[in-house]
Structure 1
Amino acid sequence: MSKTVLVTDDDSEIRDVICIYLRNEGYRVCEASDGAEALAVIGRQAVDLIILDVMMPNMDGIRACLKMREVTGVPIIMLSAKGEDIDKISGLTTGADDYVVKPFNPLELMARVKAQLRRQSLQGSSPTKPADTGVIEIDDLIIDKKRHLVTVRDRAAALTPLEFAILELLAGHRGQVFDVDRIYRSVWKEDKFLSDNTVMVHIRNIREKIEDNPREPRYVKTVWGVGYKVD
């Protein structure tokens, strides 16, 4: 069965281009012109992925993403004309899974759509993940893989699906250092895009949610010049 992608952008020409490429790839498509309309769409039908512009009238993409994460865990790819790191961090912190800067190559966007849907369908099947499907306990940090739940000192940490996958990967191989490329391949199921700091942003978000002091992390540690590990 083909996947359904919701395209949300107030620019009808951009929506049209994206929809043409998506349909050419065999996806079903639905459209929205702002965040409020997109929320109404996902309230009445199931979608497998959301493409969400940041700058829109009525309800922008950041506010819409926050509200979407209250009701769905499907992948969200943010679109924005702003390329500065702070904009990317803001988008991913709200729960988005990926970020594409305008103007973009439609073929790159299609590659990112495929990567997100592939990661979603293959999640849990990677050979780099531990075989068990139980609970990982590291001091006060508890990762319940069956319930997709993380708690720290009995307090639930609201991780996005990608944040959970990264933490599960690192915690499931305690003490082992993973470089950024390996994390990307294991979680996103493809090679990292050139000059993409998405993994770094997600690590930062994880630390904000599980560490008492994100600047001096107790769990997710940086091995400088190499990568990340969970001790």
Structure 2
Amino acid sequence: MARKEKSAEPGRLKQIAQTYTMTRRTDRWIGWILAGVGLVTFGVLLAIGFLVGHPVYLGILGFVLALLAAAIVFGRRAEKAAFGQMEGQLGAAAAVLDRMGKGWHIDQAVAMNRSQDVVHRAVGKAGIVLIGEGNPNRLRSLLGSEKKRMARVVGDVPVHDIVVGNDEGQVPLRKLRTKMLKLPRTLQGGQVTEVNDRLRALGDLMSNMPVPKGPMPKGMRMPKGMRGR
């Protein structure tokens, strides 16, 4: 066990260093900010220690809290920098969805058009959430088609749609996870699994359906589930 811990430590430190380097590309004052936060926190606690007659104890506590405060600030600014670099890139929303955690079933790119506007699907206790990234105008029809396709199997399960972006009515990438977690919970754990299984079965059915090559024969209609895809 000791060997595993020793081998894991260099990897963790390397990861922190890489995160710091990535953050500094867009936040060049990050080093001074972290140093300032640490020194102010330590200085305040040390001053209190002298006032109450326990500079050693408060100094040690101040050192620990200084490291903690710097770590918290670093984490937040690193996250902000990461979102800033991802924003506007295709698949950025999918990267956020991958970090949703337990209780959510994520299916990426359940719908996409030739312009590479894409819709992802998340199923959780809030119901079904369709997340679109791309051109807002084109996404309306893409989201509408996906809702119609799901309607036959989801019944009265709540369906929410989110368009990722910075314009009015859209949700910024950095706030996507928070937005989804704040949605009202209406399903139980077993219901979530059941709904997800239905949707995946529908997806398998559509993907396995034979599609004729070349022009469609005259008078032949496309199956309802394939429309809008």
More relative contact order, 1 or 2 (CA 8 Å, 6+ apart): 2
TM-score normalized with structure 1 length: 0.29
Q: Could you state the TM-score of these two structures normalised by the residue count of structure 2?
A: 0.29
More helix by share: 2
Larger Rg: 2
Report which of the two has the higher share of strand.
1
